[in-house]
Amino acid sequence: MTGEIRNSIPYLHFLLENFPAVAIIGPRQAGKTTLAKQIAPDWAYFDLERPADYQRIAHDPDFFFTQHSHHIIIDEAQLMPSLFNVLRGVIDNQRPDTGRFILTGSSSPDLLTQISESLAGRIATLELGTLKANEFYQAPLSPFYQLFENKITKKNIDILIQHKQPLSNNQLVHHWLEGGYPEPILAHNRKFYDQWMTDYRLSYVNRDVAKLFPRLNKIAYQRFLSILSKLSGTIINKSQIARDIEVDEKTIREYLSIAEGTFLWRMLYSYENNVKKSVVKMPKGYLRDSGLLNYLLRIHDLNDLYEYPQVGNLFEAFVIEELIKGLQGKGIVNWQAYYYRTRNGAEIDLILEGFFGTIPIEIKYGSTVQMKKLTTLREFVKEHNLPFGIVINQSDKLEWLCEEIVQIPVGWI
């Protein structure tokens, strides 16, 4: 992998210009090391998974940082917890200096705990997911994400309509099938892709998770992942999963925490800021990378994907993750993603809430949508006095469907 465009590059430059250190976190094999080396090609590089590098730092970290006080990349930094306290002192000795260290990590619980306890105010965190569709096709990030830089108004949509759709819907569907792990999708070799996914699943459980959680029942966790893949895009009933795997509910909570903390799974929590209606409070969730999800579901090609009974759930999960990758790549901060469902069954797939406002989004697998299917979305817009709601589908035109709803083809995201 060389020369690829990552949406986060401008934001990463900004962080390095303003902070002494930046942590790039995200799933294994998502391209964190590649991005770090691309942004700082002349910096010294140390990988804590290499015994020689680990021992060099661990033997005498104070001496190491007297030799390497600036322009250092440290990969898999969470493997050495003692590093963070030392790094705090190193940074404070020359506090005004920025752009000194890049750390990477694949386990958010360990890494973020160390950051919050030792390096608060000294380090910025950037989350890097697997490749977003525009990154795979080497295209600029869609102008759609400019909407989120300020308060969103209808005028923003009218300006957007004047642009050309960045990617075709077919391009997005292809990316939906294969996902975004760089190495297998850039090889353009299906046999290699399948072998890579097989090895990734095994190494994730037998090496990565086992190293972090030595007492983990790997067989039960494998069964949990198989069940979890079938539940992607649905409301998660922990007690039912516990019965299926024959473990207790506490264990399922731990398994979900592991899957979420290793960036395999994303949890969406219920939007509860509606005092007028009783809402379902159980979380929803999905596997973050659609390619890995399809592999686990034994979806091999587009025919398998189209014929999958819950294809709508898979499309919804893919679109939500693409949207989140876009916000992260643009450097939009201080926002939250929710889903909304009342106990009467009224549902909205995604609600984004931040300084840009509140944006309810419905995601439809088809290319057309009946207005009666948008009743909940229209009511939500009116009840919360919002400028509009969004429908994302496979239509061929960005247009207003009514006064409160704009249709945005998936190629825009």
The alpha carbons of the chain give a radius of gyration, in whole angstroms, of 22
The whole-number pLDDT of residue 106 equals: 83
Does residue 3 register a pLDDT over 60?
Answer: no
Strand boundaries in 176-280, DSSP class E: 234-235, 265-270
Residue 1 pLDDT grade (very low, low, confident, very high; cuts 50, 70, 90): very low
Q: What is the pLDDT of residues 332-342, one digit of tens each?
A: 999 999 999 88
Instruction: State how far the Cα of 263 lies from the Cα of 208, in Å rounded to an integer.
Output: 12
Which residue from 387, 322, 375 is spatially nearest to 7, judged by alpha carbons? 322
Residue 31 pLDDT grade (very low, low, confident, very high; cuts 50, 70, 90): very high
Which residue from 345, 394, 387, 337 is spatially nearest to 369, judged by alpha carbons? 394
Q: What is the pLDDT of residues 98-122, one digit of tens each?
A: 999 999 988 766 666 767 677 888 8
The whole-number pLDDT of residue 2 equals: 43
The whole-number pLDDT of residue 117 equals: 73
Residue 328 to residues 6, 206, 233, 312, 339: CA-CA distances in angstroms? 11, 30, 21, 24, 19
Instruction: State how far the Cα of 387 lies from the Cα of 131, in Å rounded to an integer.
Output: 31
The whole-number pLDDT of residue 107 equals: 74
Does residue 274 register a pLDDT over 70?
Answer: no
Does residue 279 register a pLDDT over 70?
Answer: yes
List the domains of the chain with CATH numbers.
9-127 (3.40.50.300), 133-412 (no CATH)
Does residue 209 register a pLDDT over 90?
Answer: no
Residue 276 pLDDT grade (very low, low, confident, very high; cuts 50, 70, 90): low
Residue 315 to residues 39, 145, 181, 365, 410: CA-CA distances in angstroms? 33, 20, 18, 6, 10
**73-82, 205-214, 235-244: lowest mean pLDDT where?**
205-214
Summary mean pLDDT of the chain: 91
The whole-number pLDDT of residue 277 equals: 67
The distance from CA 51 to its chain's CA centroid, rounded to whole angstroms, is 30
* 23-43 average pLDDT score: 94
Does residue 88 register a pLDDT over 80?
Answer: yes
The whole-number pLDDT of residue 111 equals: 65
Beta partners for residue 284, in sequence order: 235, 268
